[in-house]
Structure 1
Amino acid sequence: MTTFLKMVWVGALLAASQFAFAQQVFTSDTTKPAVSTNKPLVEKNELKYNLNESGSHFVKVTFLNQAWLQVNQSNPGSTVVGVPKDNTFSIGLRRTRMQLFGQLSDHVFLYLQFGMNNFNYLNGGFNQNASSQRKVQAFFHDAVGEYLVFKNKNYLNIGGGLTIVNGLSRFSAPSVATIMTMDVPVFAQATVDQTDQFSRKLSVYARGQVGHLDYRVAISDPFPIQTNGSALPSYGPNSIFALKGHEKQLQGLFMWQFFDKEAHKTPGYNTGTYLGAKKVFNLEAGFITQENAMVRVAAPGDTTYQNMNLWSVASFLDMPLNRSTGTAVNAYLGYFHTDYGTNYLRYNGAMNPASDIAAAQRPGGLGGTQGNAFPMFGTGNVVYGQFGYLMKRDLFGAGNGTLMPYVQVQLASYQRVSNTLGVYNVGINYLINGHNGKVTIDYQNRPYYEPSSGTSPLSAGGRRGQLTLQYQVFI
């Protein structure tokens, strides 16, 4: 009994102590609630590690994936793996990227980007001549070291390496995770995969912001056309990239920022839309020039080398309309003068779903005219514009996102095309979580051209359409 009584006594003490503790917690909760219970949970929207207490020195990692579903009306004569196809449905990855960058000290900045582009069932774009390409798509896009001359000031940053720091226009170095439209105007990436590596070049540069002026100037060491992995162009009366010689390329971009200053952390990249978070209105002018970059042979023994001279002027607007509701607008209008030498013309199509085109259907004897391609680059003049409207915040209820419809127009007058070339896009973004999670539906209407010889100007044959669904995830 004694043992039993001791057990009862200990049990009673434990029960009493538990009751007293519970009463104390209850009393504490009712009279002075814990601070954390009234604070909303804040989700981090970045992968960032601070190297010092203030966070001025840091390392940051980002990941981007853009998956595309395409339904395309192909250009006449297009084939897919040897079979004629008028229409295609394809699935692919437009861009898959990883970035690592950081301010390592008051003066030292590092930027790296690794990833792949245009990966569909044809494994397109990187090296069309390779027998097996599925595992060689990913590569370093950028590898840059930068020195910040003035501590905590962006007056002058000097850098070098493989970089997209570029001239011509803001869309020559776009931040692809933040673009408003389905895709950027690729013609502004003027030498893409011809004498550069997916718009990146080995360069030394200076960039900065002084007052309202944002500037960048660079000297680039272009790659020979022989190393781009495609069949070499043939000499003829129409200009091509030179197969002999090697000259440096000079480029620059200057933007006058009337209101808010744009982000200036990562080298060269320009935000597509701030979704109303900034009030931005810029005027810009840019150029790219290279001596003897192009060549033509008008007649046997008559070889002429020509300079490449490209320049543009443009305006960019991105600002809120009503901060309380979250509505905003985005608009861009630019004029581009593109001189690649006499009658230069090159086709291109993003995530092209066709593999070839019947020889009898080739416009101007040019290659790469199948599928969704159109004359994207050429000697002449281009007007490009876009407009988008961001609807009110939480259009579908709290946490369910909003919509941003847009229109996109590219009008080109090229020496080697007989009429004005017009490419039109209309689309809508469903911004589930801003740019971090969004779905975009886009319809593009483009021209195709009649078969012709290599010297005759291309004549319009009709128009084709493409419907694309994109799902973007970014952190």
Structure 2
Amino acid sequence: MKKILLITALFFSVLSFSQGSPDYEGGLKVKINEDGSKYFRIISWAQFWAQHNSDRPLDANGNEQADLNFSLRRARVLMYAQVSKDFLILTHFGLNSLNADNMSPTGTRDASQLFFHDVWAQYSLGKDHAIGGGLHYWNGISRLNNQSTLNIMTLDNQRQAWATLGLSDQFARHLGIYMKGSFGKFQYRVSVNEAETNNLQFEAIPVNNGPATYTGRRLLGSKEAGKVFSGYFDYAFLDAESNFLPYKVGSYVGTKKVFNIGAGFFMHPSGAVVADGTGNLSGQDVNIFAVDAFYDAPIGSNGGAITAYALYQNTDYGKDFRLGTTYETGSLLHGHLGYVLPIKTKTKIQPYLSFDSRQIDALDDDASQFGIGTNFYLSGHNSKLTLEYQSLKYAQNDAVNTITLQAMIYL
């Protein structure tokens, strides 16, 4: 009985307000043996957006839409349990982008539903290596494709860097097996996974002599186009980062000194499909490669800190592939820079800039995006406000300008 009472007390009282490090000292940690080698931890977070956009198109009925809108960007719960030093299980569920247009009266439609983001089990292979399987986030390509949503420095992740989301996976998670580990300051993660059948183009059919569609598994079969392969590798010149969990930190807010360079890939043989002049279908390989660099360090002794990141990504989804303004065969150059002001107050202030430049094969044109914002850290990443102005210029379309205020709390 005393043990049950102790666990209950820990569950409701043990809170650690961290800066959002990958060691995940925040959350509710419950020991289930005397020395703490067996435990489970629960992390929960929510992000609420107030967004102003005067360039919104007319709705489906031809009516003007309001400039100011509210949404629940993310609501998540993550729990993992260290059953023994050799075995770990993780579950992660929640919802995304709930707003007035996709809510339902009784909370039963797709947008209102919780779903599993991650469910995987992992087995240790010695001290520094592990193998696991399930619905997982041990992704390839780049740091941004492995980004944690708990500690993004900018308002949100660079969307094109989540390069497979909804095309070969379920919300940036694949179903398959992975290996991860480290050799000193060199870290790796590699995986072999199933490609999703019912993706964002689940009804698309290639047009004769037209662009590719991402329909390989559905149209060509799982034997030819059913598997995807990915990996990401990085080397730490300064402090080593944790790879206990897959989620990469966006900003340490001056709590670590990190300089990493990385490279990664994603390959989906026959993932794209094209049709010739008579309608005969053939597969085209999807290949994505990237290199990136991340620097995060304190400056001086007054609490100042810098966060800088640069990414080059080459993306080949097949001949002239393009889906909305999000996915396209071409290339991406992204960078962002933030600076924590050296002021001695409880609230830390971090202004930042971000910039993207995309080359689009199908349009023989470019897209660019510029963002400027500020984070107000009330208690590190555990409680923060973010205000950001963003301008997107896509090919010959008029620029779309958006102002967003985000309130975020995680425990």
TM-score range, shorter chain: 0.7 to 0.9
Match of 2:255 in 1: 277
Q: Which structure 2 residue ranges, 5 or more long, are not aligned? A: 1-13, 18-26
Q: Partner of 1:180: helix, strand, or coil?
A: coil
Match of 2:157 in 1: 184
Change in Cα spacing, 1:118 to 1:135, as seen in structure 2 (3 Å) is: closer
TM, length-normalised to structure 2:
0.87
State the one-letter code of the partner of 1:251: S
Q: How many residues align?
A: 379
Structure-1 separation of matches of 2:376 and 2:247: 24
- Aligned-residue offset at 1:144: 0.7
Structure-2 separation of matches of 1:221 and 1:296: 21
Change in Cα spacing, 1:344 to 1:317, as seen in structure 2 (3 Å) is: same
Is 2:41 the counterpart of 1:64?
A: no
Match of 2:70 in 1: 91
Is 2:85 the counterpart of 1:109?
A: no
Equivalent residue in structure 1 for 2:285, among 303, 307, 322 = 307
Equivalent residue in structure 1 for 2:402, among 455, 463, 466 = 466
Structure-2 separation of matches of 1:281 and 1:307: 33
Match of 2:305 in 1: 328
State the one-letter code of the partner of 1:413: Q
Structure-2 separation of matches of 1:69 and 1:303: 45
- Aligned-residue offset at 1:314: 0.8
Match of 1:418 in 2: 364
Structure-2 separation of matches of 1:102 and 1:433: 26
Equivalent residue in structure 1 for 2:204, among 233, 237, 240 = 233
Alignment of 1:67-466 (within 5 A): 67-74=48-55, 78-85=57-64, 88-123=67-102, 133=109, 136-150=112-126, 153=127, 155-224=128-197, 227-228=198-199, 232-236=203-207, 237-242=210-215, 243-244=218-219, 245-246=221-222, 247-266=226-245, 268-322=246-300, 324-347=301-324, 375-392=325-342, 394-395=344-345, 399=346, 401-448=347-394, 459-466=395-402
State the one-letter code of the partner of 1:388: G
Structure-1 separation of matches of 2:92 and 2:319: 36
Aligned partners of 1:74 and 1:86 also within 8 Å? no
State the one-letter code of the partner of 2:119: A
Q: Which structure 1 residue ranges, 5 or more long, are not aligned? A: 1-41, 348-374, 449-458
- Aligned-residue offset at 1:56: 3.4
Change in Cα spacing, 1:201 to 1:239, as seen in structure 2 (3 Å) is: same
Cα-to-partner distance string for 1:262-311 (whole Å, 9 max, x where unaligned)? 12222x21111111111110010000001110011242334331000000
Change in Cα spacing, 1:250 to 1:47, as seen in structure 2 (3 Å) is: same
Cα-to-partner distance string for 1:391-422 (whole Å, 9 max, x where unaligned)? 12543xxx3x1210111111100101332210
Structure-1 separation of matches of 2:321 and 2:54: 26
Aligned partners of 1:259 and 1:280 also within 8 Å? yes
- Aligned-residue offset at 1:376: 2.2
State the one-letter code of the partner of 2:342: K
TM, length-normalised to structure 1:
0.76
Aligned partners of 1:51 and 1:104 also within 8 Å? no
Moved more, 408-417 or 239-248: 239-248
- Aligned-residue offset at 1:134: 6.3
Structure-2 separation of matches of 1:460 and 1:219: 39
Structure-2 separation of matches of 1:386 and 1:87: 30
- Aligned-residue offset at 1:197: 0.9
Structure-1 separation of matches of 2:404 and 2:354: 14
State the one-letter code of the partner of 2:361: Q
Fraction of identical pairs, as percent: 30
Change in Cα spacing, 1:103 to 1:231, as seen in structure 2 (3 Å) is: closer
Cα-to-partner distance string for 1:133-155 (whole Å, 9 max, x where unaligned)? 267421010001001121xx2x2
Structure-1 separation of matches of 2:176 and 2:67: 40
Could you say what the CA RMSD is over the residues aligned between the two structures, in angstroms?
A: 2.1
Structure-1 separation of matches of 2:54 and 2:326: 18
Q: Partner of 1:253: helix, strand, or coil?
A: strand
Structure-1 separation of matches of 2:356 and 2:269: 28
Structure-2 separation of matches of 1:295 and 1:318: 41
- Aligned-residue offset at 1:251: 0.4
